[in-house]
Chain A
């Protein structure tokens, strides 16, 4: 469509409806846009982005003007545009029929700490805001806390799958990270990717046993069902125990049959070790849907089923995939948890030092020490707010309450 018919209509509308009475009343001062061709347009600028403007002239859709057509803008007001409009400004994308908008978000670090359900859940509106259809959940974790697995699986299954097509891309998924990724039906590996070693343990390498072990089994059964992998349960058990696993591939149908013995044609585990799958094994036994070293290779694999893909996000030095807002959020969260984790002991010890200082002086001299103690305590509370798991394994809410009471007592004397 050319600009001319729109312009004609707008000029007409402009002449009929807008300025004179308003101006005369002194109620309304329009924005004036002087064009490079000498014309002047009046209306309200409702949206601006990178020099482009959308000028609402009172009728029909706002007129879109590119920077090369604009000579000068004389504004009605210097005030920023309303929040709602500003939010709309950020939308620089549009859905093209037949094109899937895909984004990568990474799950890295220790499960329950850096790899947590909190930032994952927070990322959902960001993904929606950027119009993402397909989320690649890239996993690189050596495992972590069992208690976070259910939280992560719930977010992925109950929330992500409702909004997006979800696939996993395995860099390294060990233990709790592997259990989490089992939630996802479609799993791809990187060539160096590995997946398994799910044995639960604590303390001095002591295996989870008894009811705790049954609870883990049950969790795995539920999560495997979510990922639609009931046939792979013998293999998943071999990732937890010194149990064998093997498989056959039907020559005609290509269907894989997994056994809890070493009797199949292809042996994954003789039973003398705990299984960790590599990318070749995973692809051969059809646990993975394919192997991709780069985002381009992954795209080629995904496009076989979803058609054309466009990646959402911007190029960031050192990162081999586009970084979308949701991914940026994951990275910032991890960075914050890393920082707090590293400095946690320091903060707690400094807090205790301040309490000791306060105890060592008269009541009326304690104020400065106690203010500092409160500052450190506030920081500890903030850590727990960032990631509640900090509190579970280090200091909990009860401990915080006790400390607050201690400070009050010291202040009272």
Chain B
């Protein structure tokens, strides 16, 4: 993140040894100490079922497995808010399904553990506690709800007064190259932004006693990311900042089905994104201009305020977007230079002129100055002095590297499964023990894949159907085993 440290009035100097451990990725070392300081997280772990059992009676029960024995399963059974220990015979259990939240619960414990050790000891008493996080990488992949939620939880634990969210999603044509995509290469997608924005709106209302000031600082908020900053009125741009690239609401469904149904669905999707802009205090017509190529919007400035006119610009008005039809269609010349006007994409100047942006700042110092807090701001947990809160970076990076690793492992999954060998064993005349051992190995591989999908499901398996397929594969393997056992015993 670009920053000029000289201008920062207050610097972050000392850091505790525990924080050093955390920054080095040794979170587990700090966890036992901090777990004591974070009893609520321990309650979450202790207080929630981790598996669902399907019983031969048809009943399903939610349990935490305490001990697995050869013929029985010792569990803690959960019914509503109550729980009690209960032992099930394996013969009365049809299937055991892992519930999705167990991994996250463990993560939340370690996350809190890290935060608890990240107190800024040398911060002046009257400082404004500023938490800075940069959302970089691919939107809907690296930038996803869970890591952002975790980072914001840390901000809460650090009692941040201000949260600066730098929006800088990957808008490169190719990884490792500098050339960027053009504005018309984005796509209309609002679900991810709508999911993430709750972290900064309703969840913040519910989870923070004193609401922090949230500021979005836009370098690249392109494609679906463009909607995220709009939920807030505190938007700043970098001088080369851009927000948009979301044309495509119009004609989203192509020529499928009846026009009235396509219009209905587009109208519903529009309702979501226009609503987000209204909630952020912005004129929803700007979002219409961003998302609908056929929407014509003009403006002029009256008494310093932008005034909008739906339609072509008469004298004294400036055309923002035309209808993109015929000779109004953007040319290649316009498009490659980001000068098109079929759909609206904001640069820093236009955003400031239309009061979407409150100011332009290229460095964190400049931003704090624009915000009028440069003399009181203290950037929390910024040991490396890059102007970003270290624990936020840690959480966001942890997610990115984790999900990339998960994808690699899932890609290898089919190969791993196919490579399971049936190895001969002594005293296994009919080979059944060897085959069962191989089956057990395949089930372990499948369980590993399910665990990865449970952890990164919001990106990799949002509908959970891949996990269902894996459960069915497991069942198929179990069936093979049971049928073989039965056949081995001979005719009844």
Contact = CB atoms under 8 A, between A and B. Distances in A.
A197 B272 CA distance: 12
Interface string B248-284: 0000010011111111111110111011101100001
B279 A191 contact: yes
Contacts of B465: 345
B278 A242 contact: no
Contacts, number: 161
B263 A375 contact: no
Contacts of A375: 54-58, 94
A241 B265 CA distance: 12
Interface stretch (B65-73, B370-378, B478-486): B478-486
A273 B271 contact: no
A378 B268 contact: no
A342 interface: yes
A357 interface: yes
Interface stretch (B161-169, B201-209, B238-246, B414-422): B201-209
Contact of A197 (B256, B271, B468, B492): B271
Interface in A171-206: 172, 174-175, 190-199, 201, 203-206
Given A201-B261, A365-B492, A190 B483 contact: no
Given A175-B264, A365-B486, A276 B55 contact: no
Given A192-B275, A294-B205, A319-B206, A346 B468 contact: yes
Contacts of A364: 492
A205 B287 CA distance: 25
A172 B272 contact: yes
B60 A379 contact: yes
Interface string B42-75: 0000000000101111111000000000000000
A346 B264 CA distance: 33
Contacts of A205: 253, 256-258, 261-262, 265
Chain A CB within 10 Å, residue with most, of B266, B278, B463, B475: B278
Contacts of B279: 190-192, 293
Interface residues of A, number: 67
B418 to A, nearest CB: 22
Interface in B277-325: 278-279, 284
B193 to A, nearest CB: 12
A206 B265 CA distance: 12
Interface stretch (A13-21, A302-310, A366-374): A366-374
A206 B260 CA distance: 9
Interface string A194-233: 1111110101111100000000000000000000000000
Interface in A301-339: 316-320, 332, 339
A206 B272 contact: no
Given A342-B468, A379-B54, A172 B271 contact: yes
A343 B278 contact: no
Given A172-B271, A343-B468, A207 B479 contact: no
B483 A342 contact: no
A201 B258 contact: yes
Contact of A191 (B59, B265, B275): B275
Contacts of A376: 54, 58, 94
Contacts of A360: 483
Contacts of B284: 278, 280
Interface string A369-396: 1011011111101100000000000000
Chain B CB within 10 Å, residue with most, of A142, A205, A279, A362: A205
Interface string B322-358: 0000000000000000000000000000000000000
B270 A276 contact: yes
A242 B263 CA distance: 8
A353 interface: yes
15 contacts: A175-B268, A192-B272, A194-B268, A197-B268, A273-B266, A275-B267, A280-B278, A318-B203, A319-B206, A343-B468, A345-B468, A361-B483, A374-B56, A375-B94, A382-B59
Given A192-B278, A194-B271, A350-B95, 5 more contacts: A193-B275, A197-B265, A201-B258, A205-B262, A353-B479
The 7 residue pairs across chains A and B that have the minimum distance between CB atoms = A378-B58, A205-B257, A194-B271, A192-B275, A199-B264, A192-B279, A276-B271
